[in-house]
Amino acid sequence: MPVRAGFMVRVERDAREPKPAWSEVPEELRDALARLAGAPFVDAAIAWGGYGPSATFTLTTADNRKLFCKGTHPGFTEMGTKAFFTELSNYESLPELAEFGPGFRGAANHEDWHLLILDYVERTREVPPWTADAVGGALAMLARFHARTPARAFEILPVVEKQADTMSFASLYGGQSGWRSLDDPLLRAQFSALFDEPDAAMRWLNAHRGDFVALEAAASHIGGPRSWVHHDVRSDNLLFGDSGEPLLVDYPFLAIGPALMDVVCFLPSLAGEGGPPPDEALGLYERMSGHRFDAHDVAITVAAVAGFFAQRAGQPELPGLPRLRRVQKLQLFPSLEWLSRSVAIEPPPAPKPF
């Protein structure tokens, strides 16, 4: 399986999210976390990675064990705080997640600080670059993740099509944002400005947006297997060891929904980081899962994902999230190409470098 040069995002190394230092964590909370760990901490370092300004630390105990700590802090965003509590609830309710990611060790809080502890897993293989082994391992893990959804997850987790939260991935299913939102002149201008030829991009949008709106409107009825769905599988949420399947981290958007959505959310970022084209990678997932998706369901899902990023990628940067728009562009352009192939139309113009 070949890998290719993609729309590889050029991330500025100094464009880091603001994160608190361990010294800012209240002493009472540090002591409570040490009790959870079963030993005092002798070292604590900020854990850089991901795209949010959450508190994240690598902790070392006096008996030489490492743990990962993450959570909220004073001044953290309302959306981030909500995501933390949802993820904490998922860890507490679904210990089966430890089959696919680091084990959960507990949580503690003090005033506006809320932190949880997970087993520390060393990322011994940096991905990207995507090799055939890394692509195969990630897709095999995702197929297994979907297939091994515990029965009680269907009782515990929300059904994503019934969620009304337009700030999260639930908006993928509503048909009220995405391509529909690009009837707004400002959003249309922001979208077309992402391309080398903005006028040509606007003509492309005008010619096809109506069809895209109709497709994404059907996203609440995507067929195929239903399972727990992560909604945010990307390389920064995968921990690769020396070989084989990676571990999957970050579960604030976990819900019951169509497995196809998880795959379609992941594959544009895979292509953008130099991996195989999304339709090729989808075929590999299908062989691993033993399920072949309906072509119309694929078109609906790709339209919803492409619309999600088309609405957002051209907007101004959000405070505290200096790399978010870059990663959205990385996902947008491969999803637009995939959408064009899915509905047999010409692709949009070339994107501007980013």
pLDDT of residue 216: 96
Span 150-160, pLDDT tens digits: 999 999 999 99
Separation of alpha carbons 4 and 142, rounded Å: 21
Separation of alpha carbons 247 and 102, rounded Å: 7
pLDDT of residue 6: 43
Nearest-10 crossing angle of helices 259-272, 324-342: 110
pLDDT of residue 9: 37
> Of the ranges 15-19, 74-78, 287-291, 327-331, which one carries the lowest mean pLDDT score?
15-19
The angle subtended at Cα 225 by Cα 223 and Cα 231, nearest 5°, is 90
**pLDDT beyond 70 at 14:** no
- The closest of 123, 120, 53 to 84, measured between CA atoms, is 53
User: Quick one: tokens of 65?
Assistant: 């064990």
What domains lie within the chain, and their CATH numbers?
A: 22-119 (3.30.200.20), 132-342 (3.90.1200)
Separation of alpha carbons 39 and 117, rounded Å: 13
Span 23-37, pLDDT tens digits: 999 999 999 999 999
How large is the average pLDDT for residues 35-42?
98
Span 62-72, pLDDT tens digits: 999 999 999 99
Separation of alpha carbons 21 and 216, rounded Å: 42
- The closest of 268, 278, 285 to 333, measured between CA atoms, is 268
Exposed (0-12), middle (13-18) or buried (19+): which is 151, by Cβ within 10 Å?
Answer: exposed
**pLDDT beyond 60 at 350:** yes
Span 107-160, pLDDT tens digits: 999 999 999 999 999 999 999 999 999 999 999 999 999 999 999 999 999 999
Give the SS3 label for residue 123.
Answer: coil
pLDDT band at residue 50 using 50, 70 and 90 as cut-offs:
confident
Instruction: Tell me the whole-structure pTM to 2 decimals.
Output: 0.94
pLDDT of residue 4: 46
**pLDDT beyond 70 at 299:** yes
